[in-house]
Amino acid sequence: MTDNISRSYLGAPHGVAAWLLTKDHKRIAMLYLISITIFFALGGIFAAGIRLELLTPKGDLWTPDMYNKLFTLHGVIMIFFFLIPSIPATLGNFLLPIMVGAKDLAFPRINLLSWYIYVAGALTTLAAVFNGGLDTGWTFYTPYSSIASETAVTTAAIGVFITGFSSILTGLNFIVTVHRMRAPGMTWFRLPLFVWAQYATSLVMILGTPVIAITVLLVGAERAFHFGFFDPRLGGDPVLFQHLFWFYSHPAVYIMILPGMGVMSELVAAVSRKQVFGYGFVAFSSLAIAILGFLVWGHHLFVSSQSIYAGLVFSIITMLVAVPSAVKTFNWAATMYKGSIMWTATTFWVLGFMGLFTIGGLTGLFLASMGLDIHLTDTYFVVAHFHYIMVGGAIMAYMGGLHFWWPKMTGKMYNEPGAIASAILVFVGFNLTFFPQFILGYMGMPRRYHAYPEEWQVLNVASTLGASVLFLGYLLPAFYLTWSLVKGKEAPANPWGAKGLEWTVPSPPPTFNFDEDPVVDEPAYNYKPTREVHVG
């Protein structure tokens, strides 16, 4: 291996045990990276199964039960085993300590434990997949999940329960690290915005995840012991489940997007070599989204028999939570004004995010407007909305971040044209897959249908065609990123000429991050024309 690698956290100590028993946050980030990539591929295979079935109006590829399992597992795997851990457990784990100037997270062993818990939860859920499957939808609505479904609901519930603790421990670790381990001079308002975003995400993780944990436990108890929390025959209210479930699962979507927004702040600043416009506003908007995000869950229950007055409160607060996201978007755009924009693959991911996230966020307004939601809820409009944010937003940000920090994490440069091609393929494929679904949704096509009226076939075929392009876009990085590990050029400490503590240490960093304990004496993104910026 090359010199820069052998001297880094990747080089020593050697051996499988040194990786599986590591306390180094950077190695743990790599363990997570490998795990979540495997699950992304698995979730993608299930997505392929869905889109192939939807090529034709009739349900002729899979049995109805098989299709129901495919969309359920696509959701469960993508959300719990890919999106929720993705940025926090890979980029967050790797970068957070370095960005605050620390040698590691506050609790390195708990960090490793969180990965093992993730693996345990994943294996348990896979056990459910291969022993009966799961067909309740990722939303597990009762009484179907608690009484009617004949699949491995209890096992899957246990799997999700276990995995939740991985999330909780990560969040706990990040909060304590940001509070207690900032280097001298690193005041709160000198922190990179990625750290603010991870901090806000961690608040959501620790407050929300325990609620889904107890909720799936209640469903498991109902199935295993015939307790009756959600059983209407005992006076239980199935809608109580929806409240408990969405109390977590709505904030969960902010767990999925806030880190991406944090990545975006870093990328936009670096790509533009400029201060993030409105730093304070962007920082506080992350907190606002985290807090407001806990107050809107009832917008999933407008037609569930929830009271109109509760609905009004949820609708208005949902409108409010859109505002900080808008503030961020405008601040990022303003950051690019009079910037010095570098055109690399990272830039393409940034531009893609800006467009797709804006669409995704705005389409939330359609659903937040109660009257309109009556028509749109439980249709493909919702499916399109959340994919625009989670794939068009979160995954684009994740890919952008992965590329931007790849040289830092691996010590290698990747193939630029390949990366640009990937970004473009993803952007084009994504839009072709999901834009038709807005139209299908307004036309009334319900979610979770494997057969549909003939007149909707053209749009469904377009969507599947888009999915094929999207698949190619995600396949490419598997090749050129892996290739870079073997044959990539050696990366300098600061290939992009960016500001940030992570760019002051070697690529890849040594095990304890800093050879000399850092002292911070400047704000974040301090791109001054008078200071020399060296590329490399």
Partner 1 sequence: MSSSPFPLFPPNASSVATEMDLLYLFIAAVSAFFVVLVAALVFVFAVKYRRRHPDEVGADIHGSLALELTWTVIPFILAMVMFVWGADLFFRLSRPPADAMEVFVVGKQWMWKVQHPEGKREINELHVPVGRPVRITLGSEDVIHDYSIPAMRVKMDAVPGKLTTLWFEPTVAGTYHLFCAEYCGTKHSGMIGQVIAMAPQEYEAWLSDAGTGAGGVSAAANGEKLFSEYACVTCHKGDGSGRGPILNGVFGSQVKLADGRTVTADENYIRESVMTPTAKVVAGFQPIMPPFQGTISEENLIQIIAYIKTLKASAPAAAEKK
Partner 2 sequence: MAHSQAASIGAHSATSHGAGGDEHAQNPNLQHHFYSMAQQLEASTLGMWVFLVTEIMFFGGMFMAYILYRHLYPAAWQLGSHHLNVSLGATNTIVLICSSLTMALAVRSAQVSSRKGQIWFLILTIVFGSAFLVVKYFEYAEKFEHHLVPGPTFNMPTEEYPNGIIAPDQEANHQQLFFSLYFMLTGVHAAHMVVGIVLMLVILAMAIRGRFSASYYTPVEISGLYWHFVDIVWIFLFPLLYLLGAHLGAHGG
**Which of 9-17, 82-90, 132-140, 251-259 is the region at the interface with partner 1 (rule: CB under 8 A)?**
132-140
Specify which residues 379 forms β-bridges with.
446
* Nearest CA among 257, 347, 154 for reference residue 145: 154
State the number of binding residues for partner 2 (CB under 8 A). Answer: 56
- Exposure of 64 by Cβ count < 10 A (0-12 exposed, 13-18 middle, 19+ buried)? exposed
Could you say which residues in the range 469-498 bind partner 1, by CB under 8 A? 497
Binding of residue 504 to partner 1 (CB under 8 A): no
Q: Which is nearer to partner 2, 239 or 342 (CB)?
A: 239
Binding of residue 464 to partner 1 (CB under 8 A): no
Partner whose binding site includes residue 218, from partner 2, partner 1, none (CB under 5 to 8 Å by kind): partner 2
Round to whole Å and give the CA distance between 170 and 340. Answer: 36
Q: Which of 14, 34, 150, 235 binds partner 2 (CB under 8 A)?
A: 235
DSSP-H helix ranges across 444-523: 457-487
Partner whose binding site includes residue 180, from partner 2, partner 1, none (CB under 5 to 8 Å by kind): partner 2
**Which of 234-242, 307-315, 337-345, 456-464 is the region at the interface with partner 2 (rule: CB under 8 A)?**
234-242
Q: How far is CA 29 from CA 9, 10, 181, in A?
A: 12, 12, 19
User: Is residue 349 within 8 Å of residue 415, measured between CB atoms?
Assistant: no
> Phi/psi at 176 (nearest 5 deg)?
-65, -40
Q: Which is nearer to partner 1, 40 or 302 (CB)?
A: 302
Binding of residue 52 to partner 1 (CB under 8 A): no
Round to whole Å and give the CA distance between 287 and 204. Answer: 10
Q: Which is nearer to partner 1, 438 or 471 (CB)?
A: 438
- Minimum Å distance from CB 323 to partner 2? 26
Binding of residue 228 to partner 1 (CB under 8 A): no
Q: Which is nearer to partner 2, 187 or 305 (CB)?
A: 187
Partner whose binding site includes residue 210, from partner 2, partner 1, none (CB under 5 to 8 Å by kind): partner 2
CA dihedral 305, 310, 315, 318 (to 10 degrees): -110
Element (H, E) at 287: helix 279-292
Assign residue 55 a region (left: φ > 0; alpha: ψ between -120 and 50; beta: otherwise): alpha
Q: Tell me the two tokens of residue 436.
A: 């038709």
| Residue that the structure tokens 């307790």 belong to | 227
Binding of residue 243 to partner 2 (CB under 8 A): yes
Q: Which is nearer to partner 2, 187 or 340 (CB)?
A: 187
How would you label 417-440 residue by residue, b for 16+ Cβ within 10 Å and e otherwise? ebbbbbbebbbbbbbbbbbbbbbb
Q: Which of 41, 206, 322, 428 binds partner 2 (CB under 8 A)?
A: 206
Q: Which of 19, 62, 227, 442 binds partner 2 (CB under 8 A)?
A: 227
Q: Tell me the two tokens of residue 226.
A: 């015939």
Q: Which of 14, 15, 455, 486 binds partner 1 (CB under 8 A)?
A: 455
Q: Which is nearer to partner 1, 120 or 413 (CB)?
A: 413
Could you say which residues in the range 90-149 bind partner 2, by CB under 8 A? 97, 102-108, 110
Assign residue 520 a region (left: φ > 0; alpha: ψ between -120 and 50; beta: otherwise): beta
* Nearest CA among 20, 30, 122, 133 for reference residue 77: 122
Which positions ≥6 away from 201 have C-beta within 8 Å? Answer: 88, 92, 171, 174, 254, 255, 258, 259, 262, 290
Round to whole Å and give the CA distance between 131 and 444. Answer: 34
Q: Tell me the two tokens of residue 454.
A: 């003939």
State the number of binding residues for partner 1 (CB under 8 A). Answer: 102
Binding of residue 207 to partner 2 (CB under 8 A): yes
Round to whole Å and give the CA distance between 207 and 230. Answer: 23
Partner whose binding site includes residue 418, from partner 1, partner 2, none (CB under 5 to 8 Å by kind): none
Q: Which is nearer to partner 2, 106 or 389 (CB)?
A: 106
Round to whole Å and give the CA distance between 246 and 138. Answer: 12
Partner whose binding site includes residue 18, from partner 2, partner 1, none (CB under 5 to 8 Å by kind): none
- Minimum Å distance from CB 137 to partner 1? 5
Round to whole Å and give the CA distance between 391 and 437. Answer: 14
Could you say which residues in the range 319-358 bind partner 1, by CB under 8 A? 319-320, 322-323, 326-327, 329-334, 336-343, 347, 351, 354-355, 358
Q: Which of 18, 148, 224, 310 binds partner 1 (CB under 8 A)?
A: 148
Q: Tell me the two tokens of residue 9.
A: 């956290």
CA 100 to mean position of chain CA atoms: 22
Q: Which of 58, 517, 523, 528 binds partner 2 (CB under 8 A)?
A: 517
User: In the stretch 49-88, what mask flags binding to partner 2 with x, by CB under 8 A?
Assistant: ----------------------------------------
- Minimum Å distance from CB 475 to partner 1? 27
Round to whole Å and give the CA distance between 521 and 160. Answer: 44
- Minimum Å distance from CB 286 to partner 1? 15
Q: Tell me the two tokens of residue 264.
A: 């975006």
Partner whose binding site includes residue 78, from partner 2, partner 1, none (CB under 5 to 8 Å by kind): none
Binding of residue 189 to partner 1 (CB under 8 A): no
Say whether 525 sits in a helix, a strand or coil.
coil
Partner whose binding site includes residue 528, from partner 1, partner 2, none (CB under 5 to 8 Å by kind): partner 1
- List interacting residues with partner 2 (CB under 8 A): 97, 102-108, 110, 168, 172-173, 175-176, 179-187, 206-211, 213-215, 217-218, 221-222, 225-229, 233-237, 240, 243-244, 247, 512, 514-517, 519
